[in-house]
Each structure stands twice: as structure tokens, then as C-alpha cells.
Structure 1
Amino acid sequence: MVRLAHLTRRAFLCLAVASAVVAGAPAHADDASAWQGVRKAGVLRCGAAVAPPYVMRDPKTGEYSGFFADLCRNFAQNVLKVKVEFVDTSWDNIVAGLQSDKWDLSMALNDTPEREKAVSFSAPATDYNVSFVYNKNNPKIPKGAHTIAEIDKPGVTVAVMSGTAQDKAISAVIRQAQIMRLPGNDETRLALMSKRADLLADANITNMLLTEAHPEWAATLQPTPPLAQQEVAFGIRKDTPAADIAMLNKYVGEQVKSGAVDRLIKSSVQAMLVANK
């Protein structure tokens, strides 16, 4: 099961970011050597691939929310003093779009050795690992399961968002079960809820949303040892000047230390739970 106490604690840390950013943004914008292109354009472009509660998008209004969206918005408005623009993308293109200058920052990007070859990373806003949600009445999943070996069996299907860090993580350890790769979070959840998939592999915080929204049937397998323990940060282009990276890192670090990120996470989780009722 997800360690709710730990996740809630992490959530509180992330949640603090929004409040702290708005209330006391650092005056880095006076440094004329940093983020000059963004200031000249008057807009910070944030690459947005949906993964609740990190990045969320209202299908009716197109408005973005989630704690990484709040971080990007507040960095633009309160630090760089520019507008923010969220650019729709997918997890398959989140790195390539950044490299080709389609946006200035990629949000909620897992810092992996593979990605470090292509882009740079800010200081981490939170951490990440992969968990699995399943229907507690599913006879294929042993009660009390806590290892990959207990679910990696023929006849078991694991749904995952294609191109994500969790896709890469389970692809490295799943040998016998079938991996069902789908384009988005809605599709993977639907596959689990319709019983086309036996498990859903996703980020620990994201899966917490699902289990808390559906406690009557949803349970979580948190692998031991943790699967794909990583840091989650902003992705930035390799050619970004050191002064620009330092400014972004100072901003992120202040938000984590102040508790703003935790508050943002908690707020995003609560918003998701309300929306799913």
C-alpha cells in the first residue's frame, strides 16, 4: 500500500511552493544577464504534459493547474516579471520539444541519466517513485504483494502512459506480464477501472489520488525496494547559461525550504479529489 503518511508529508512540502512564491518571490529579475530572451519576448513558455497532480488541464476551459504549473506560473510572473504560456505536449515529446526551443522549461521532468544527456535540470522540487494501483478484489494480485516478482506473471496486464519515466521503469523490470502503453492518464485509469488492465503503473503521488478517490476498490502496491526512485525538476536546455540556472535553482530551493511546494502539492491533491467526486 502507498505510504500515505509519507506521501502526505511530501504533499505538504510541495504545496507550500505556491504560497511562498506569491508572497515572497525573490528579486532575481533585476539581474540583466539572466533570462534575457524570455524577458524580451515577454512570456515564459512552459512545456506541459498532463500527469496529475504535477500538471493538470481542465478539458472544458483548457486552463492548467497542478503544483508544477503553479511553480512555472509564479516563476514567470513573480521572478521574471513576464506572462506564462503553457504549451501542450506529450511525454513522448517533452524532451524533444525543449531541445527544439518550442518552450523554455519542461515541467515535472524526472531527472534520469538518459535525459541528462539531452537536457539539463533544475534543483528538484520533489521526489518520485513508481507504484501500482489495482482492484483489491482482483484474484490475480496476491494479498499483501510488495514485490515486482509477485505481479510479473503471464496473464497479468499493466497499463502505463507511453513515454513516461514510469514506462521506462517498468519496461526494465517487467518480463512476463503484458505492458499496455496508452497515451494519457485518463486512458490508463479507464483501462484499470474497466478491468482491461490488472494494474496501473504511475507516479506515487499520482496513484495516491486514485486510491483516495476510490477507497472502496483501489489498493496500491509500493514495490520493495522502491522502483525508479528519482528527483522531479524542471527540464532546461543544455545551452542555458549558468546564471539562468542559478536563478531558477534559487527560486525552486526557496520554495521547497519554505514549505511552499508541499502546500502546492496538498492543494493540487485536494483539487483532484474534488474534481473526481
Structure 2
Amino acid sequence: MVLPRSSSLKAFLVGAGLCGALLAQSAAQAAESSVWQDVQKAGVLRCGAAVAAPYVMRDAKTGDYSGYFVDLCRDFGEKVLKVKVSFVDTNWDNLVAGLQSNKWDLAMALNQTPERALAVAFTVPATDYQVSLLVNKDNPKLAEVKDDISALDKPDLTFAVMSGTAQDKAISSVIHSGKIMRLPGMDEARLAVMSKRADVLVDASDTNHLFALANPGWTREILPKPALAKQGVSFGVRRDISPADLEVLNIYLRQKRDTGDIQQLVDKASIEANAAK
């Protein structure tokens, strides 16, 4: 057998290496699927919908969805992807799991937390979020309480919160002596405070503010100090989404936020939520 000269051997090895790299790149590109191409082939964008006004709302009679994340999901699907949009009813306990198991393509109104980031990817925030507290201003147990969260951690106080939400996680991290009443929905949590079975309603600051505006006679809002669970509110997507696909939705959201369109949608949803109440 005749061995190639050193220069020829070097060229041969370099060429083989380049071929190997190109083949690996081609294989990687073939293995990497496009979420939006799959959605366009299916002809429908599926949005996981767990109700929490004014982000996501659902008419009990018609089943129709509204809210500013609903508006964003519908607008992105119809105007960017050019497909129909379907809203899939779920709850906060199952919103992430359904995204992981491909029951929907987007999870609406997910708070950005490190724990959730282990399971899903996030878009840039559409809006910002903070947990607030709402109490009955005539409740004698809360007469001296202002905004110090530690002053609320007492055995005789009960906190009503929707199970599985960011609010649930946030209040559970700071309340150790008080009782936490975890309920399946926000209507049940609000009713618990209205009926005085619970003392404190735990929810997002904007939704608590809506509820306070609708019930000015007895409510008092508390913004805890230090701030409780201040974070962005985003769309959740599967972790295997390609950077290019994620950037498509991020560009859309940044433009909508920078132009003030999202704030207009928030105001519209807030008016609808109060009208419904």
C-alpha cells in the first residue's frame, strides 16, 4: 500500500473533518423542528388558557375567551402565523404540564420563575407582575397592619389563594404561622374573604385592584414590603423551541409593548372585567 505524502494526508484529514462537521450540522438542522412551521401545517395555534382576570377571562355562558393575553395570542396566530387560534381550557396546576405534553403550543400569562424555567422556556415579558393582598378594612385583626408582610404572619390569620399559582408559591414562602387556604379558583378565594372564612386575599396586584374597585365599600389593598414575587408575565413555550422561533414571538411582544399596544389591551381587559362584575 502506498501512503499519502504528509501534505496530502493533512489535506485529506482537513477535508474529512469539514465533511464531518457539515454532516453533523445537517443532521442537527434536520433534527431541529420548527414550532411555528408545525403550527402552520396544522392550521391552528393552540393556546392553553387558565382563567385569571384580566389576563385570561372566560364567559361562563358562551365559553368565549377574552383578556389581554387572549388578545395577544389571537393576534399573533392570525396576523403573524396566518392560522386559526384555539383556546384550550385548563387550570393553573396543569398549565405547564400541558405545554410539556404538547396539549397546547403556548401557555398564556405565565409568571417567570426559576422553577418553571426548568420545565419550560419563556418569552420576553408582556407585562410585569407583583403579588398584593386584599383585606376587609373593618376586620379588627388587621386594623394595625400596613404593608409589613411579617406583621401578617400570625396564627389567627387565614390567607385565601388559588392553588398552584405564582401567588400560592409566593405567600407560602413567607407565611409560616398563618393558615393558607388553597382553593381551585379565584372566585372561590374571593368568596372566602367576602364571607369572612378567610382574612386575606392573595392575588396579582392588578387583579386585586380590579376587585377592590368593584367593591370599594369594604376592601383595602396592601402592597407588601419588601415586594412579593415581582416578576415578568410571559408566554410559556416548550423548552425545545428553536432560538429562531422564540425570537419571532419576542420581536412581536417587544413591538407591541414599545408601541403601547399591550397597555391598551390591559386597559380594555380591565374595563371588561369590571363590567362583568
Q: Residue type of the partner of 1:159?
A: A
Distance in 2 separating the partners of 1:162 and 1:103: 21
Contact 2:145 2:151 in 1 (8 A): no
C-alpha deviations, 1:125-159, integer Å up to 9, x for none? 01111100011001111345101112110111000
Residue in 2 aligned with 1:158? 159
1:175 matched residue in structure 2: 176
- In 2, the alpha carbon distance for the partners of 1:172 and 1:90 equals 22
Amino acid at match of 1:199: V
| Aligned partner of residue 35 in structure 1, secondary structure | helix
TM-score (norm 1): 0.87
* SS across alignment from 2:38: helix
After superposition, the C-alpha distances for 1:84-112 in whole angstroms (9 at most, x for unaligned) are 00001110111110000000000000010
Map of 1:226 onto structure 2:
227
Matches of 2:68 and 2:262, distance apart in 1: 7
Gaps of 5+ in 2: 1-33
- What CA distance in whole angstroms lies between the structure 2 residues aligned with 1:263 and 1:147? 33
2:156 and 2:35 map into 1 onto residues whose CA distance is: 54
Q: CA RMSD in A?
A: 1.2
Whether the 8 Å contact between 1:47 and 1:86 is mirrored in structure 2 is yes
Match of 1:47 in 2: 48
Counterpart of 2:13 in structure 1 is none
Kindly name which structure, 1 or 2, has the bigger radius of gyration based on alpha carbons.
2
Q: Give 2:112's aligned amino acid.
A: D
Structure 1 residue matching 2:201: 3-state secondary structure = strand
1:48–1:90: 8 Å Cα contact kept in structure 2? Answer: yes
Give the unaligned 5+ runs of structure 1. Answer: 1-32
User: Aligned letter for 2:275?
Assistant: V
Aligned partner letter, 1:257? D
1:129 aligned partner? 130
Partner secondary structure for residue 163 of structure 1: coil
Offset, 1:242: 1.2
Counterpart code for 2:64? E
Matched residue type, 2:113: T
Aligned pairs, how many?
245
The answer for the alignment partner of 2:18 in structure 1 is none
Amino acid of the structure 2 residue aligned with 1:170: I
Residues 1:198 and 2:199 are matched in the alignment: yes
TM superposition score normalised by structure 2? 0.87
Is the 1:34–1:247 contact (alpha carbons within 8 Å) kept by the matching residues of 2? no
What do the CA deviations read for 1:211-256 (whole angstroms, capped 9, x no partner)? 1101111111100111011100000001111111010000000000
Residue 79 (str. 1) matches residue 80 (str. 2): yes
Q: What does residue 148 of structure 2 align with?
A: 147
Instruction: Give the alignment of 1:18-97 within 5 angstroms.
Output: 35-97=36-98
Matched, 1:106 2:107: yes
Structure 1 residue aligned with 2:245: 244
Name the SS of the counterpart of 1:51 in structure 2: coil
Provide the rounded CA distance (Å) in 1 between the counterparts of 2:65 and 2:164: 21
CA distance in 2, matches of 1:35, 1:241: 10
SS in 2 for 1:62: coil
| SS of the residue 2:55 aligns to | coil
- 2:79 counterpart letter in structure 1: N
SS in 2 for 1:172: helix
